Structure 1
Amino acid sequence: MLKWSISELVKYRDQPLHFTTTLDLKKELMARDPEILDMTSLTVDGYISYDKGDLLVSVTLGGKLVIPSTRSLTPVDWPLDFTFTEIYLLNPADKDKYDDGQLLIDLEGSELDLHPAIADHVLLSIPMQVLTPAEAAGEAMPEGDDWSVVGEADYEAGKAEQQTANPAFAKLKQLFPEDDDESKK
Protein backbone atom coordinates (compact mmCIF):
# COMPACT_ATOMS: atom_id res chain seq x y z
CA MET A 1 0.00 0.00 0.00
CA LEU A 2 2.85 2.39 0.72
CA LYS A 3 4.86 1.42 -2.35
CA TRP A 4 4.86 3.23 -5.70
CA SER A 5 6.91 2.92 -8.86
CA ILE A 6 9.00 5.91 -9.89
CA SER A 7 7.30 6.02 -13.29
CA GLU A 8 3.95 6.38 -11.51
CA LEU A 9 5.21 9.16 -9.21
CA VAL A 10 6.68 11.21 -12.08
CA LYS A 11 3.08 12.01 -13.04
CA TYR A 12 2.70 14.11 -9.87
CA ARG A 13 4.66 17.18 -11.00
CA ASP A 14 1.77 19.61 -10.77
CA GLN A 15 -0.39 18.05 -8.07
CA PRO A 16 1.08 15.99 -5.18
CA LEU A 17 -0.11 12.44 -4.61
CA HIS A 18 -2.16 12.36 -1.40
CA PHE A 19 -2.41 9.07 0.50
CA THR A 20 -4.13 8.02 3.71
CA THR A 21 -4.02 4.61 5.31
CA THR A 22 -3.91 2.73 8.60
CA LEU A 23 -0.79 0.71 9.30
CA ASP A 24 -0.25 -2.02 11.90
CA LEU A 25 3.44 -2.11 12.84
CA LYS A 26 3.00 -3.59 16.32
CA LYS A 27 4.76 -6.94 15.77
CA GLU A 28 7.55 -5.42 13.66
CA LEU A 29 8.36 -2.60 16.09
CA MET A 30 8.05 -4.76 19.20
CA ALA A 31 10.58 -7.14 17.63
CA ARG A 32 12.96 -4.26 16.85
CA ASP A 33 12.57 -2.55 20.25
CA PRO A 34 11.69 -4.79 23.22
CA GLU A 35 10.94 -1.66 25.30
CA ILE A 36 7.66 -1.24 23.41
CA LEU A 37 4.97 -2.96 25.47
CA ASP A 38 2.01 -2.28 23.17
CA MET A 39 1.04 -0.14 20.21
CA THR A 40 -2.11 0.96 18.40
CA SER A 41 -2.45 1.01 14.63
CA LEU A 42 -0.96 4.12 13.04
CA THR A 43 -2.93 6.57 10.97
CA VAL A 44 -0.76 7.65 8.07
CA ASP A 45 -1.53 10.77 6.03
CA GLY A 46 0.95 12.09 3.52
CA TYR A 47 1.92 13.68 0.24
CA ILE A 48 4.46 12.78 -2.42
CA SER A 49 5.43 15.19 -5.15
CA TYR A 50 7.90 14.95 -7.99
CA ASP A 51 10.08 18.06 -8.18
CA LYS A 52 13.05 18.57 -10.51
CA GLY A 53 13.98 14.89 -10.57
CA ASP A 54 13.49 14.26 -6.84
CA LEU A 55 10.62 12.97 -4.71
CA LEU A 56 9.49 15.16 -1.83
CA VAL A 57 7.65 13.20 0.86
CA SER A 58 5.75 14.56 3.87
CA VAL A 59 4.03 12.12 6.23
CA THR A 60 1.95 12.74 9.36
CA LEU A 61 1.63 9.85 11.81
CA GLY A 62 -0.86 9.38 14.63
CA GLY A 63 -1.23 6.61 17.18
CA LYS A 64 -0.09 5.52 20.62
CA LEU A 65 2.75 3.50 22.10
CA VAL A 66 2.86 1.93 25.55
CA ILE A 67 6.42 2.12 26.85
CA PRO A 68 7.91 1.77 30.35
CA SER A 69 8.74 4.75 32.52
CA THR A 70 12.49 5.22 32.62
CA ARG A 71 12.24 5.79 36.36
CA SER A 72 9.89 3.09 37.65
CA LEU A 73 9.19 0.85 34.61
CA THR A 74 5.46 1.59 35.01
CA PRO A 75 3.71 1.41 31.59
CA VAL A 76 3.12 4.87 30.08
CA ASP A 77 0.81 5.74 27.17
CA TRP A 78 2.96 7.75 24.76
CA PRO A 79 1.02 9.57 22.03
CA LEU A 80 2.41 9.64 18.51
CA ASP A 81 1.46 12.74 16.54
CA PHE A 82 4.23 14.09 14.35
CA THR A 83 5.19 14.85 10.78
CA PHE A 84 8.40 13.96 9.00
CA THR A 85 9.72 15.11 5.67
CA GLU A 86 12.23 13.34 3.46
CA ILE A 87 13.65 14.00 0.01
CA TYR A 88 14.40 10.96 -2.11
CA LEU A 89 17.06 11.64 -4.73
CA LEU A 90 16.76 9.82 -8.04
CA ASN A 91 20.20 11.18 -8.98
CA PRO A 92 22.79 11.28 -6.12
CA ALA A 93 24.49 14.27 -7.76
CA ASP A 94 21.43 16.38 -6.84
CA LYS A 95 22.56 16.65 -3.20
CA ASP A 96 24.28 19.95 -3.94
CA LYS A 97 21.01 21.77 -4.62
CA TYR A 98 19.72 21.23 -1.03
CA ASP A 99 20.63 22.90 2.25
CA ASP A 100 22.47 21.08 5.01
CA GLY A 101 20.13 19.57 7.56
CA GLN A 102 17.55 18.33 5.08
CA LEU A 103 17.02 14.58 5.13
CA LEU A 104 18.26 13.39 1.73
CA ILE A 105 18.03 9.74 0.77
CA ASP A 106 19.44 8.16 -2.38
CA LEU A 107 16.64 6.11 -3.89
CA GLU A 108 17.83 2.74 -5.06
CA GLY A 109 15.73 0.70 -7.46
CA SER A 110 12.61 1.69 -9.32
CA GLU A 111 10.20 1.91 -6.36
CA LEU A 112 9.57 4.17 -3.40
CA ASP A 113 8.60 2.18 -0.29
CA LEU A 114 7.67 4.33 2.73
CA HIS A 115 7.01 1.42 5.10
CA PRO A 116 10.65 1.25 6.41
CA ALA A 117 10.83 5.05 6.78
CA ILE A 118 7.63 5.13 8.84
CA ALA A 119 8.85 2.34 11.13
CA ASP A 120 12.22 4.07 11.61
CA HIS A 121 10.62 7.44 12.42
CA VAL A 122 8.32 5.85 15.02
CA LEU A 123 11.34 4.32 16.76
CA LEU A 124 13.25 7.60 16.54
CA SER A 125 10.34 9.46 18.14
CA ILE A 126 10.64 7.51 21.42
CA PRO A 127 12.28 9.88 23.93
CA MET A 128 15.22 8.96 26.14
CA GLN A 129 13.26 9.85 29.28
CA VAL A 130 9.65 8.77 29.78
CA LEU A 131 7.80 9.53 33.01
CA THR A 132 4.32 8.73 34.27
CA PRO A 133 2.18 11.82 34.95
CA ALA A 134 2.78 11.35 38.70
CA GLU A 135 6.55 11.14 38.21
CA ALA A 136 6.54 14.20 35.97
CA ALA A 137 4.59 16.11 38.66
CA GLY A 138 7.45 15.42 41.10
CA GLU A 139 5.75 12.90 43.34
CA ALA A 140 7.73 10.41 45.43
CA MET A 141 10.60 8.54 43.85
CA PRO A 142 10.48 4.72 43.75
CA GLU A 143 11.99 2.77 46.65
CA GLY A 144 12.39 -0.79 47.82
CA ASP A 145 13.94 -2.89 50.56
CA ASP A 146 17.14 -1.17 51.72
CA TRP A 147 17.23 1.30 48.80
CA SER A 148 15.59 4.48 47.61
CA VAL A 149 16.11 7.04 44.90
CA VAL A 150 17.22 10.41 46.21
CA GLY A 151 17.13 13.79 44.52
CA GLU A 152 20.26 15.78 43.80
CA ALA A 153 19.74 18.18 46.73
CA ASP A 154 19.31 15.29 49.18
CA TYR A 155 22.39 13.59 47.76
CA GLU A 156 24.54 16.71 48.19
CA ALA A 157 23.27 17.19 51.77
CA GLY A 158 24.10 13.56 52.63
CA LYS A 159 27.52 13.87 51.03
CA ALA A 160 28.33 17.00 53.08
CA GLU A 161 27.09 15.25 56.23
CA GLN A 162 29.45 12.30 55.60
CA GLN A 163 32.44 14.59 55.11
CA THR A 164 32.02 16.24 58.50
CA ALA A 165 34.37 14.44 60.88
CA ASN A 166 33.07 12.79 63.99
CA PRO A 167 34.89 14.42 66.98
CA ALA A 168 35.42 11.03 68.60
CA PHE A 169 37.43 9.88 65.60
CA ALA A 170 39.39 13.13 65.32
CA LYS A 171 41.48 12.13 68.35
CA LEU A 172 42.25 8.75 66.75
CA LYS A 173 43.45 10.47 63.62
CA GLN A 174 46.16 12.21 65.64
CA LEU A 175 47.61 8.80 66.56
CA PHE A 176 48.54 8.09 62.90
CA PRO A 177 50.02 11.32 61.45
CA GLU A 178 52.02 9.35 58.85
CA ASP A 179 48.71 8.31 57.17
CA ASP A 180 47.92 11.98 56.63
CA ASP A 181 51.32 12.53 55.01
CA GLU A 182 50.85 9.61 52.61
CA SER A 183 47.35 10.70 51.59
CA LYS A 184 48.71 14.15 50.63
CA LYS A 185 51.15 12.63 48.10
Structure 2
Amino acid sequence: MLKWTLSELAKYRQTPLHFTETLDLKQELMERDPEILDVTPVKADGYVSFDDGDILVSVTLGGKLTVPSTRSLQPVVLPLDFTFSEVYLTDERHKDKYEDGQLVLDLDGDTLDLHPAIADHVLLSIPMQVLTPEEAAQGIMPKGDNWTVMGEDDFAKEQEQDRPNPAFEKLKGLFPDDDDKQK
Protein backbone atom coordinates (compact mmCIF):
# COMPACT_ATOMS: atom_id res chain seq x y z
CA MET A 1 0.00 0.00 0.00
CA LEU A 2 3.04 2.23 0.51
CA LYS A 3 1.35 4.19 3.29
CA TRP A 4 2.55 4.24 6.90
CA THR A 5 1.82 6.28 9.99
CA LEU A 6 4.63 7.87 12.01
CA SER A 7 4.01 5.43 14.86
CA GLU A 8 4.50 2.49 12.46
CA LEU A 9 7.70 4.01 11.05
CA ALA A 10 9.09 4.75 14.53
CA LYS A 11 9.66 0.99 14.86
CA TYR A 12 12.31 1.23 12.14
CA ARG A 13 14.86 3.38 13.96
CA GLN A 14 17.50 0.63 13.97
CA THR A 15 16.78 -1.21 10.71
CA PRO A 16 15.16 0.36 7.64
CA LEU A 17 11.79 -0.89 6.45
CA HIS A 18 12.20 -2.72 3.13
CA PHE A 19 9.26 -2.83 0.74
CA THR A 20 8.56 -4.23 -2.71
CA GLU A 21 5.31 -3.32 -4.36
CA THR A 22 3.93 -3.45 -7.90
CA LEU A 23 1.71 -0.49 -8.72
CA ASP A 24 -0.82 -0.04 -11.51
CA LEU A 25 -0.33 3.66 -12.31
CA LYS A 26 -1.60 3.52 -15.90
CA GLN A 27 -4.92 5.33 -15.47
CA GLU A 28 -3.53 7.93 -13.06
CA LEU A 29 -0.52 8.77 -15.24
CA MET A 30 -2.57 8.87 -18.46
CA GLU A 31 -5.00 11.30 -16.81
CA ARG A 32 -2.15 13.52 -15.62
CA ASP A 33 -0.33 13.44 -18.97
CA PRO A 34 -2.63 12.68 -21.94
CA GLU A 35 0.38 12.09 -24.22
CA ILE A 36 1.24 8.86 -22.37
CA LEU A 37 0.12 5.94 -24.51
CA ASP A 38 0.72 3.04 -22.12
CA VAL A 39 2.31 2.16 -18.77
CA THR A 40 3.23 -1.30 -17.58
CA PRO A 41 2.84 -2.06 -13.88
CA VAL A 42 5.60 -0.21 -12.02
CA LYS A 43 7.70 -2.16 -9.53
CA ALA A 44 8.77 -0.09 -6.54
CA ASP A 45 11.56 -1.50 -4.40
CA GLY A 46 12.89 0.61 -1.58
CA TYR A 47 13.72 1.43 1.99
CA VAL A 48 12.20 3.76 4.55
CA SER A 49 14.15 4.65 7.66
CA PHE A 50 13.19 6.79 10.63
CA ASP A 51 16.01 9.02 11.89
CA ASP A 52 15.54 11.57 14.66
CA GLY A 53 11.97 12.29 13.57
CA ASP A 54 12.87 12.53 9.87
CA ILE A 55 11.88 9.91 7.33
CA LEU A 56 14.49 8.94 4.75
CA VAL A 57 13.19 7.23 1.62
CA SER A 58 15.05 5.56 -1.25
CA VAL A 59 13.01 3.92 -4.01
CA THR A 60 14.08 2.11 -7.19
CA LEU A 61 11.44 2.00 -9.91
CA GLY A 62 11.18 -0.44 -12.79
CA GLY A 63 8.72 -0.76 -15.66
CA LYS A 64 8.01 0.61 -19.12
CA LEU A 65 6.31 3.75 -20.32
CA THR A 66 5.11 4.31 -23.91
CA VAL A 67 5.01 7.87 -25.23
CA PRO A 68 4.95 9.37 -28.74
CA SER A 69 8.15 10.41 -30.50
CA THR A 70 8.56 14.17 -30.40
CA ARG A 71 9.37 14.09 -34.13
CA SER A 72 7.10 11.55 -35.77
CA LEU A 73 4.54 10.76 -33.03
CA GLN A 74 5.41 7.05 -33.43
CA PRO A 75 5.15 5.12 -30.14
CA VAL A 76 8.40 4.84 -28.20
CA VAL A 77 8.85 2.51 -25.23
CA LEU A 78 10.94 4.09 -22.47
CA PRO A 79 12.36 1.83 -19.79
CA LEU A 80 11.79 2.97 -16.21
CA ASP A 81 14.86 2.03 -14.23
CA PHE A 82 15.96 4.71 -11.79
CA THR A 83 16.25 5.46 -8.09
CA PHE A 84 15.05 8.52 -6.24
CA SER A 85 15.61 9.61 -2.66
CA GLU A 86 13.58 11.98 -0.53
CA VAL A 87 13.64 13.19 3.05
CA TYR A 88 10.38 13.97 4.83
CA LEU A 89 10.66 16.28 7.82
CA THR A 90 8.42 16.14 10.86
CA ASP A 91 10.21 19.17 12.30
CA GLU A 92 11.10 22.05 9.96
CA ARG A 93 14.13 22.97 12.11
CA HIS A 94 15.88 19.80 10.86
CA LYS A 95 16.12 21.20 7.32
CA ASP A 96 19.61 22.64 7.96
CA LYS A 97 21.21 19.22 8.49
CA TYR A 98 20.62 18.17 4.87
CA GLU A 99 22.58 19.13 1.77
CA ASP A 100 21.19 21.63 -0.74
CA GLY A 101 20.83 19.01 -3.49
CA GLN A 102 18.68 16.64 -1.43
CA LEU A 103 14.94 16.65 -1.93
CA VAL A 104 13.62 17.67 1.49
CA LEU A 105 9.86 17.84 1.99
CA ASP A 106 7.62 18.60 4.93
CA LEU A 107 5.50 15.64 5.97
CA ASP A 108 1.83 16.44 5.54
CA GLY A 109 0.05 15.15 8.64
CA ASP A 110 1.20 12.02 10.46
CA THR A 111 1.12 9.64 7.47
CA LEU A 112 3.74 8.95 4.81
CA ASP A 113 2.17 8.05 1.46
CA LEU A 114 4.75 7.24 -1.24
CA HIS A 115 2.21 6.61 -4.02
CA PRO A 116 2.04 10.31 -5.14
CA ALA A 117 5.84 10.64 -4.99
CA ILE A 118 6.29 7.58 -7.20
CA ALA A 119 3.78 8.86 -9.76
CA ASP A 120 5.47 12.28 -9.77
CA HIS A 121 8.92 10.78 -10.33
CA VAL A 122 7.67 8.61 -13.20
CA LEU A 123 6.28 11.73 -14.90
CA LEU A 124 9.48 13.66 -14.22
CA SER A 125 11.51 10.87 -15.82
CA ILE A 126 9.98 11.48 -19.27
CA PRO A 127 12.63 13.27 -21.35
CA MET A 128 11.85 16.46 -23.26
CA GLN A 129 12.97 14.84 -26.52
CA VAL A 130 11.81 11.30 -27.27
CA LEU A 131 13.01 9.61 -30.47
CA THR A 132 12.44 6.20 -32.01
CA PRO A 133 15.67 4.17 -32.34
CA GLU A 134 15.68 4.86 -36.11
CA GLU A 135 15.26 8.62 -35.61
CA ALA A 136 18.06 8.69 -33.06
CA ALA A 137 20.47 6.58 -35.15
CA GLN A 138 19.81 8.10 -38.57
CA GLY A 139 18.78 11.64 -37.68
CA ILE A 140 15.48 11.22 -39.56
CA MET A 141 13.44 14.42 -39.62
CA PRO A 142 9.73 14.74 -40.47
CA LYS A 143 8.74 15.87 -43.96
CA GLY A 144 5.66 16.32 -46.08
CA ASP A 145 4.53 17.68 -49.44
CA ASN A 146 6.79 20.64 -50.31
CA TRP A 147 8.30 20.91 -46.82
CA THR A 148 10.91 19.28 -44.66
CA VAL A 149 12.43 19.90 -41.26
CA MET A 150 16.16 20.36 -41.43
CA GLY A 151 18.71 20.14 -38.68
CA GLU A 152 21.17 22.88 -37.82
CA ASP A 153 23.99 21.21 -39.80
CA ASP A 154 21.86 20.93 -42.95
CA PHE A 155 20.73 24.53 -42.58
CA ALA A 156 24.33 25.74 -42.23
CA LYS A 157 25.38 23.79 -45.35
CA GLU A 158 22.54 25.31 -47.33
CA GLN A 159 23.51 28.80 -46.18
CA GLU A 160 27.11 28.20 -47.28
CA GLN A 161 26.01 27.35 -50.78
CA ASP A 162 25.45 30.71 -52.38
CA ARG A 163 23.22 29.60 -55.21
CA PRO A 164 22.03 32.48 -57.37
CA ASN A 165 18.54 32.31 -58.80
CA PRO A 166 18.86 31.04 -62.42
CA ALA A 167 16.19 33.49 -63.61
CA PHE A 168 18.29 36.44 -62.45
CA GLU A 169 21.48 34.94 -63.92
CA LYS A 170 19.97 35.32 -67.41
CA LEU A 171 19.39 39.03 -66.78
CA LYS A 172 22.99 39.71 -65.77
CA GLY A 173 24.21 40.46 -69.26
CA LEU A 174 21.36 42.81 -70.20
CA PHE A 175 22.74 45.83 -68.34
CA PRO A 176 26.52 45.80 -68.73
CA ASP A 177 26.90 49.32 -67.27
CA ASP A 178 25.31 48.21 -63.98
CA ASP A 179 27.63 45.20 -63.77
CA ASP A 180 30.69 47.47 -64.00
CA LYS A 181 29.37 49.81 -61.26
CA GLN A 182 28.91 46.96 -58.77
CA LYS A 183 32.53 45.86 -59.06
Partner of 2:143: 143
Partner of 1:125: 125
Within 5 Å, give how 1:57-136 maps onto structure 2: 57-136=57-136
Aligned AA for 1:68?
P
**Structure 1 residues 169 and 39: CA distance shift in structure 2, 3 A:** farther
How far the C-alpha of 1:151 sits from its partner, in A, is 2.4
How far the C-alpha of 1:27 sits from its partner, in A, is 0.5
Partner of 1:41: 41
Partner of 1:157: 157
Unmatched 5+ stretches in structure 2: 179-183
TM-score (norm 1): 0.87
Partner of 1:11: 11
**Structure 1 residues 162 and 31: CA distance shift in structure 2, 3 A:** farther
Q: Secondary structure at the match of 1:109?
A: coil
How far the C-alpha of 1:140 sits from its partner, in A, is 3.4
**Structure 1 residues 169 and 19: CA distance shift in structure 2, 3 A:** farther
Whole-angstrom distance in 1 between the partners of 2:113 and 2:54: 15
How far the C-alpha of 1:111 sits from its partner, in A, is 0.3
Partner of 1:178: none
Partner of 1:180: none
How far the C-alpha of 1:35 sits from its partner, in A, is 1.2
Aligned AA for 1:90?
T
Aligned AA for 2:159?
K
How far the C-alpha of 1:50 sits from its partner, in A, is 0.5
Identity rate of aligned residues, in percent? 64
Whole-angstrom distance in 1 between the partners of 2:84 and 2:153: 40
Aligned AA for 2:26?
K
Whole-angstrom distance in 2 between the partners of 1:12 and 1:169: 88
**Structure 1 residues 12 and 158: CA distance shift in structure 2, 3 A:** same
**Structure 1 residues 158 and 86: CA distance shift in structure 2, 3 A:** same
Q: Secondary structure at the match of 2:121?
A: helix
**Structure 1 residues 136 and 152: CA distance shift in structure 2, 3 A:** same
Q: Secondary structure at the match of 1:72?
A: coil
Whole-angstrom distance in 1 between the partners of 2:98 and 2:30: 35
Whole-angstrom distance in 2 between the partners of 1:153 and 1:54: 52
Question: Higher mean Cα deviation, 136-145 or 3-12?
Answer: 136-145
Whole-angstrom distance in 2 between the partners of 1:4 and 1:134: 45
Whole-angstrom distance in 2 between the partners of 1:160 and 1:167: 19
Q: Secondary structure at the match of 1:11?
A: helix
Whole-angstrom distance in 2 between the partners of 1:58 and 1:153: 43
Unmatched 5+ stretches in structure 1: 175-185
Aligned AA for 2:78?
W
Q: Secondary structure at the match of 2:138?
A: coil
